[in-house]
Amino acid sequence: MLYREAGDFKTTYAADGQTFPIAFDRWRYYGVLAVAFGVVPFLINDYWANAVFVPFLIYAIAAIGLNILTGYCGQVSLGTGGFMAVGAYACYKLMTAFPEVSILVHIVLAGGITAGVGLLFGIPSLRIKGFYLAVATLAAQFFLVWLFNKVPWFYNYSASGQISAPERTFLGVAVTGAATPAWAKYLVCLVFVVALAWVARNLTRGALGRQWMAIRDMDIAAEIIGVNPLRAKLAAFAISSFYVGIAGALLFAVYLGAVEVGEAFGINKAFLVLFMIIIGGLGSIFGSFAGAAFLVLLPVLLKNVLVGGLGWSTSLAAHIELMIVGALIVLFLIVEPHGLAQLWRLAKEKLRLWPFPH
């Protein structure tokens, strides 16, 4: 049968401890990767890249980042928009200051700079918890947006305060700027997503991830059993910010090409990413993907159905869309408070037993 452990013999510890212990699951994972790398780039066009895949992949990175902090380590953050802005502005400053260095290096460096900033704003987490920490990170959100608006150095003194990504190439193919082909945009984001998701998955399965979860579940108990809260919490802040910073850099450089901080990285963005992980599932890498897909793709799908398919007026469709998305969020949280990831987990459990559930 399809979804079974039976007959899938593990002969080493490594094989026994792998991420996808069930053969079917493993093959599905390889299948998705093969399609994502081998099929989609050949079929993708500008619409699919810019409206569907690129935003989905970028928000998935941001959601994984926030999930590390909130879902795994239990530290609520409302500063995601501000940290994405740090990534975007760091990337902009780097790519204009050092045009000869590869853009991909800049994106990673932008993540590194964001990690530093996140570390700084993570220090209060050692003293304050819960709602109070949320307020502290909210301060980070407003401060960072204000900073990038106020100090002209960050936007190279441009008249409008906008930052625009100049064209940068990788192996001769444009990666940023208007001339970027759809497949290049998609592939750049995909490579980052796959690499970062792989790292995140393995981090959370390892010692560091277990420390985070111990802190999340009960920090005093964690401390008693020997987890260093300073190290664990700050590592969570730094790594989470690294992810969020890369998402911000990609959002600016690859996806939008020009941003202004108040509009692109406002408090709405922080809530959007937070909703993604709540709906997707706290403490789950798959949940980050599911949540990002839910909140990025559903509005686009609804818009196409209501306006394109049913021919409704755009304003009515926009209002109904808000209502449908809102209602679905409430419904999902009532039916399954642990998010889409839990539904997926339950489905897998049922599949394992099917067709003999007793």
Partner 1 sequence: MNGRLTAAAALAALMAAGPAMAELVIPNLSYRTGPYAPGGIPYADGFNDFFTLLNERDGGIGGERVRVIECETAYNTEKGVECYEATKGEGSLVYNPLSTGITYQLIPRATADGIPLYTPGYGRTSAANGRVFEWVFNYPANYWDAASVAIRYLLDENGGSLTGKKIALVYHNSAYGKEPIRTLQELARKHGYELLEIAVDHPGQEQKSQWLQIRQQRPDYVLMWGWGVMNAVAIQEAANIRYPMENFIGVWWSGSENDVLPAGDGANGYKSLAMHGTGMDYPVYAALKQHVYDRGLASGAGDQIGSVLYSRGMYAALVIAEAVRKAQAIHGVAQVSPAQLRDGFEQLEITEARMAELGLPDFGQAFAATCEDHGGPGAGRIQQWDAAAKRWSLITPFIAPDDEVLTPLILEDSTAFAAENNITQRCQ
List of residues contacting partner 1 (CB under 8 A): 28, 32, 45-47, 50-52, 55-56, 149, 159-162, 164, 166-167, 177-179, 255-260, 262-264, 266, 286, 289-290, 293-294, 297-298, 300-301, 303-305, 307-309, 313-315, 317-319, 322, 340
Nearest approach, Cβ of residue 309 and partner 1 (Å): 6
Determine the Cα–Cα distance for residues 162 and 263; give it in Å rounded to an integer: 10
Amino acid occupying residue 258: A
Scored b (16 or more CB within 10 A) or e, 264-295 reads: bbbbebbebbbbbbbbbbbbbbbbbbbbbbbb
Report in angstroms how near the CB of residue 300 gets to partner 1 at its nearest.
Answer: 6
CB of 263 to partner 1, least distance (A): 6
Phi, psi of 258 (to 5 degrees): -150, 135
- Shortest distance in whole angstroms from residue 340 CB to partner 1: 7
Distance CA 183, CA 11 (A): 41
Q: How far is the CB of 82 from partner 1 (least distance, A)?
A: 14
Nearer to partner 1, 159 or 334 (CB): 159
Cβ nearer to partner 1, comparing 159 with 225: 159
User: How many angstroms separate the CA atoms of 88 and 165, rounded?
Assistant: 10
Q: Which is nearer to partner 1, 23 or 120 (CB)?
A: 23
CB nearer partner 1, residue 112 or residue 177: 177
Beta bridge partners of 259: 163
Determine the Cα–Cα distance for residues 112 and 90; give it in Å rounded to an integer.
9
Beta carbons of 282 and 339 less than 8 angstroms apart: yes
For residue 355, whether the previous peptide bond is cis, meaning omega lies within 30 degrees of 0, is yes
308: helix, coil or strand? helix
Which backbone phi and psi does 175 adopt, to 5 degrees?
-110, -35
| Cβ-based nearer residue to partner 1, 7 or 311 | 311
Could you tell me the smallest distance in angstroms from the CB atom of residue 156 to partner 1? Answer: 10
CB of 178 vs partner 1, minimal distance in Å: 3
Q: Measured from the CB atom, is 152 or 206 closer to partner 1? A: 152
- Least distance (Å) from partner 1 to the CB of residue 95? 11
Q: How far is the CB of 277 from partner 1 (least distance, A)?
A: 16
Cβ atoms of residues 111 and 245 within 8 Å: yes
- The SS3 of residue 323 is helix
Nearer to partner 1, 84 or 239 (CB): 84
Contact by Cβ (8 Å): 172, 288 = no
- Given the complex with partner 1, which of 189 and 227 has the nearer CB atom? 189
Helix orientation angle between 285-303 and 267-280, rounded to the nearest 10 degrees: 110
- H/E segment holding residue 310: none
64 contacts 290 by C-beta, under 8 angstroms = no
* Residue nearer to partner 1 on the CB measure, 236 or 302: 302
279 near 341, Cβ under 8 Å?
Answer: no
Dmax of the chain from CA atoms? 70
